[in-house]
């Protein structure tokens, strides 16, 4: 069966329905390419009998885009074949575009990436007016480029400047917004209307040609050499670099492809695009990002870390204990996914305050027209703010987010458990206390688990599920279901102090502060952090966390280490933190002063006194940027290996995804373990040895790393 159905109607209109056999969505793979080549041949033969062509899809979505399975395998050795293959596919699209008959895209569902590119190659685009339908070119988010003509057609259609956010940021829009932006030409209320309108266009426009194929075509908004545009384009690379810090080749290549391509005719522009596309496809950053953000993330969402054999659960009523910052966020995340929530605090007033947090977030959505008043009321009605334990009756799941105090946590556990349904789950959102220790207060430790959310809960997608010593597989599987039910990403880790994310995060901030202790300039430290690809510098994030909390966590860890008979090895960051808090009274952002100053008016900036207090000018001048960047990425990757070695982490996928979504580990790397793989495991181990000699034992390669390096294997 061909991937493209060919139906020539009595009205001489040809309908091409893309329906790839054995796939739930249409993708641009070998089967599609073959079908398209055949289709073009048939169209050429039938041209005399045709009045026009409608392209649509038999799937729920119009077309899903490039085939990542295929792209992921292309290596540098195959660049030439790959380039020829892409140019061949584009030639088929171009043949339809220039066949002289009107071609209309009847976009019956989402058209992303290659899907939208097919539509852009048509003379007219009509989309089904459904807010769930998404249109866009998200390739950049996987380190790629819209290589099916997207970087050429979209700028020629809506102008370079207007196209940039779609091309370089992967902006997606619904059909209404696409109409406004000029990406589609018409909307239709139903699939039938879609086809009717498509046919009507063909009847009314017997000869269609793309604007860029007409004589005298002018690029909307000005061609690159137009003085006003040239001025903007002169600064565009610098502005882009400010955002990418040079870590992401994709947006840079997209900018080049679009601007260079728009200075020549369409066909040459298309060749330029393919060159840049090929370079990205075979490059390491696209491999890192596609591997993690596509394959590994999908594996996680498909239940890779969920124990088998447990029936999937749908939660109906969830209690959240503690309506503070975290509890309020968890209540919002849960209620907005259709689950009843009981939000309990010590007083109704406190609980209402927590509920108000949801109200404020929902009101913002309403004001941005992303939600109706009615939908807002529905979500709010699902949250019951209370101070009464009796209201917990019949909950399937309780999530505790009271103060970080094991005594208090034990008390609320014992109060809540009897109210749960049979086999209900009790989860703690503790950030530091071992789950097995908290489970001691539980009458059913097999149903006790950690659900570690990140702040702010409405924005942070990750939930770290912590399995205690006695937590059952069934409880884990069901907790996993809850996390997916609220649309978040679950990773599963075994119990350990700091679990996985907090442990690795700690190494990041401590390394930055240790650099300050060595006399390195704070601005160099912050810049190195961001140039390595971290979203914020280590000193800025330390202020966010608060230096006093860091002291508190350290004191607790030290106490526990010593109680277990170990010796505490002080980190060079500790003295700086103590000096900042105890001598300078600078505790972090919440108290208005930390490594940064927080003026009432204007932007925060590094505290100027840091220089006099800590900077060693000679050292600061002699420092190597690469060393600073390596230290920041290596120290976290090494701690991640230790987490794997100790069995805290259970999978590579969880390590990579958890490091990016929980800690902000440089996304270009594909995560803390993929960073090692792509660096070369042996080379990474050697560099770690070097760093250990220069900066301390904390960089010494763990046994698991040495083992992999010696055997020449990677982490898989």
Rule CB under 6 A: is residue 664 a binding residue for ligand NAI? Answer: no
Rule CB under 6 A: is residue 327 a binding residue for ligand NAI? Answer: yes
Rule CB under 6 A: is residue 325 a binding residue for ligand NAI? Answer: yes
Rule CB under 6 A: is residue 429 a binding residue for ligand NAI? Answer: yes
Rule CB under 6 A: is residue 358 a binding residue for ligand NAI? Answer: no
CB-wise, 382 or 452, nearer to ligand NAI? 452
**Measured from the CB of residue 544, what is the shortest distance to ligand NAI in angstroms?**
9
Q: For the CA atoms of 369, 373, 374, 380, what is the dihedral angle to 10 degrees?
A: 110
Rule CB under 6 A: is residue 509 a binding residue for ligand NAI? Answer: no
**Measured from the CB of residue 637, what is the shortest distance to ligand NAI in angstroms?**
23
Q: Which of 321, 398, 530, 681 binds ligand NAI (CB under 6 A)?
A: 321
Rule CB under 6 A: is residue 439 a binding residue for ligand NAI? Answer: no
CB-wise, 219 or 545, nearer to ligand NAI? 545
The residue whose Cβ lies closest to ligand NAI is: 324
CB-wise, 401 or 655, nearer to ligand NAI? 401
Rule CB under 6 A: is residue 323 a binding residue for ligand NAI? Answer: yes
Site for ligand NAI in 172-201 (CB under 6 A): none
Q: Which of 350, 472, 542, 651 binds ligand NAI (CB under 6 A)?
A: 350
Beta strands in 290-442 (DSSP E): 317-321, 340-344, 383-386, 395-400, 420-428
Positions annotated as catalytic residues are 464
Interface mask (CB under 6 A) for ligand NAI, residues 398-417, using x and -?
A: ---xxxx---x---x-----
Q: What angle do CA 387, 392, 393 make, to 5 degrees?
A: 135
Rule CB under 6 A: is residue 324 a binding residue for ligand NAI? Answer: yes
CB-wise, 163 or 328, nearer to ligand NAI? 328
| Per-residue burial over 675-707, b = 16 or more CB atoms within 10 Å of its CB, e = otherwise | bbbbbebbebbebbeebbeebeebbebbeebbe
Alpha helices in 98-221 (DSSP H): 114-120, 150-158, 160-169, 175-181, 191-204
**Measured from the CB of residue 351, what is the shortest distance to ligand NAI in angstroms?**
8
Rule CB under 6 A: is residue 109 a binding residue for ligand NAI? Answer: no
Name 483's Cβ contacts closer than 8 Å, sequence gap at least 6. 451, 463, 465, 489, 490
**Measured from the CB of residue 76, what is the shortest distance to ligand NAI in angstroms?**
43
First to last CA, the chain: 37
Q: Which of 30, 191, 346, 555 binds ligand NAI (CB under 6 A)?
A: 346
Does residue 396 sit in helix, strand or coil? Answer: strand
Report the alpha-carbon distance of residue 249 to residue 374 in Å, rounded.
44
Is the four-CA dihedral 316, 487, 365, 183 of positive or negative sign?
A: negative
- Are the CB atoms for 698 and 642 separated by under 8 Å? no
Q: For the CA atoms of 269, 273, 275, 281, what is the dihedral angle to 10 degrees?
A: -170
- Taking CB under 6 A as the binding criterion, the range among 19-27, 246-254, 271-279, 343-351 that sits at the site for ligand NAI is 343-351
Q: Which of 270, 274, 334, 431 binds ligand NAI (CB under 6 A)?
A: 431
Report the alpha-carbon distance of residue 420 to residue 448 in Å, rounded.
12
- Taking CB under 6 A as the binding criterion, the range among 43-51, 187-195, 323-331, 391-399 that sits at the site for ligand NAI is 323-331
**DSSP per residue over 617-670, as a string?**
HHHHHH--HHHHHHHHHHHHHHHHHHHHHTTSB--HHHHHHHIIIII---GGGT
Rule CB under 6 A: is residue 158 a binding residue for ligand NAI? Answer: no
Report the alpha-carbon distance of residue 698 to residue 716 in Å, rounded.
24
- Name beta bridge partners: 459: none
Binding-site ranges for ligand NAI (CB under 6 A): 321-327, 344-346, 350, 401-404, 408, 412, 429-431, 452-453, 455
């Amino acid at each position: 069966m061909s991937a493209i159905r060919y139906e020539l109607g009595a009205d001489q209109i040809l309908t091409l329905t893309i329906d790839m056999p054995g796939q739930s969505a249409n993708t641009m793979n070998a089967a599609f390419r073959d079908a398209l080549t055949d289709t073009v041949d048939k169209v050429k033969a039938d041209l005399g009998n045709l009045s026009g062509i409608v392209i649509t899809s038999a799937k729920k979505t119009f077309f899903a885009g490039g085939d990542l399975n295929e792209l992921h395998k292309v290596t540098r050795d195959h660049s030439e074949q790959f380039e020829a293959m892409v140019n061949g596919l584009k030639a088929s699209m171009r043949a339809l575009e220039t066949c002289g008959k009107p071609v209309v895209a009847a976009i019956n569902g989402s058209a992303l990436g290659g899907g939208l590119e097919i539509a852009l190659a048509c003379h007219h685009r009509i989309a089904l007016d459904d807010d769930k339908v998404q249109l866009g070119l998200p390739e950049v988010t996987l380190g790629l480029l819209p290589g099916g003509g997207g970087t050429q057609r979209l700028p020629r259609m809506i102008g370079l400047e207007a196209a940039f956010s779609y091309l370089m940021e992967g902006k997606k829009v619904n059909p209404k917004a696409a109409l406004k932006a000029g990406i589609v030409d018409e909307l239709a209320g139903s699939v039938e209307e879609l086809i009717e309108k498509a046919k009507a266009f063909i009847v009314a426009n017997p000869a269609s040609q793309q604007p860029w194929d007409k004589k005298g075509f002018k690029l909307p908004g000005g061609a690159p050499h137009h003085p006003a545009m040239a001025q903007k384009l002169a600064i565009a690379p610098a502005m882009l670099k400010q955002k990418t810090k040079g870590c992401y080749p994709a947006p840079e290549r997209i900018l080049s492809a679009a601007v260079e391509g728009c200075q020549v005719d369409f066909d040459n522009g298309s060749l330029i695009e393919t060159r840049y596309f090929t370079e990205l496809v075979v490059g390491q950053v696209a491999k890192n990002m596609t591997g993690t953000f596509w394959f590994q993330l999908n594996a996680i969402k498909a239940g890779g870390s969920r124990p088998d054999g447990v029936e999937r659960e749908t939660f109906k009523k969830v209690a959240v204990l503690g309506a503070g910052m975290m509890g309020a966020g968890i209540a919002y995340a849960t209620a907005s996914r259709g689950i009843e929530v009981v939000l309990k605090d010590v007083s109704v007033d406190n609980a209402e305050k927590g509920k108000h947090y949801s109200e404020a977030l929902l009101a913002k959505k309403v004001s941005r027209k992303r939600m109706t008043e009615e939908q807002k009321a529905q979500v709010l009605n699902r949250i019951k703010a209370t101070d009464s334990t009796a209201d917990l009756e019949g909950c399937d799941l309780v999530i505790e987010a009271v103060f970080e105090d094991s005594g208090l946590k034990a008390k609320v556990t014992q109060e809540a458990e009897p109210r749960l349904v049979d086999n209900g789950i009790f989860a703690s959102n503790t950030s530091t206390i071992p789950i097995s220790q908290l489970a001691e207060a539980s009458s059913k430790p097999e149903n006790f688990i950690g659900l570690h959310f990140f702040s702010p809960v409405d924005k942070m997608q990750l939930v770290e599920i912590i399995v205690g010593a006695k937590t059952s597989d069934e409880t884990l599987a069901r907790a996993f279901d809850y996390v997916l039910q609220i649309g978040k990403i679950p990773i599963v880790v075994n119990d350990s102090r700091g679990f996985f994310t907090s442990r690795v995060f700690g190494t990041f901030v401590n390394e930055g502060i240790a650099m300050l202790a060595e006399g390195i300039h704070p601005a160099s430290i912050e810049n190195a952090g961001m140039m390595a690809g971290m979203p914020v510098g280590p000193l800025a994030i330390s202020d966010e966390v608060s230096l006093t909390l860091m002291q508190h966590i350290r004191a607790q860890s030290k106490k526990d280490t010593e109680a277990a008979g170990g010796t505490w090895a002080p980190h060079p960051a500790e003295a700086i933190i103590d000096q900042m808090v105890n001598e300078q009274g600078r505790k972090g952002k919440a108290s208005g002063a930390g490594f940064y100053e927080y003026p009432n008016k204007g932007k925060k900036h590094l505290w100027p006194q840091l220089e006099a207090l800590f900077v060693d000018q000679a050292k600061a001048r002699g420092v190597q940027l690469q060393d600073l960047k390596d230290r920041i990425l290596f120290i976290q990757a090494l701690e991640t290996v230790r987490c794997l070695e100790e069995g805290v982490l259970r999978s590579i996928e969880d390590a990579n995804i958890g490091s990016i979504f929980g800690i902000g580990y440089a996304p270009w790397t594909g995560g803390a373990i993929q960073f090692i793989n792509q660096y070369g495991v042996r080379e990474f181990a050697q560099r770690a040895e070097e760093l250990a000699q220069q900066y301390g034992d904390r960089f010494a390669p763990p046994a698991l790393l040495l083992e992999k390096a010696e055997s020449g294997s990677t982490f898989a």
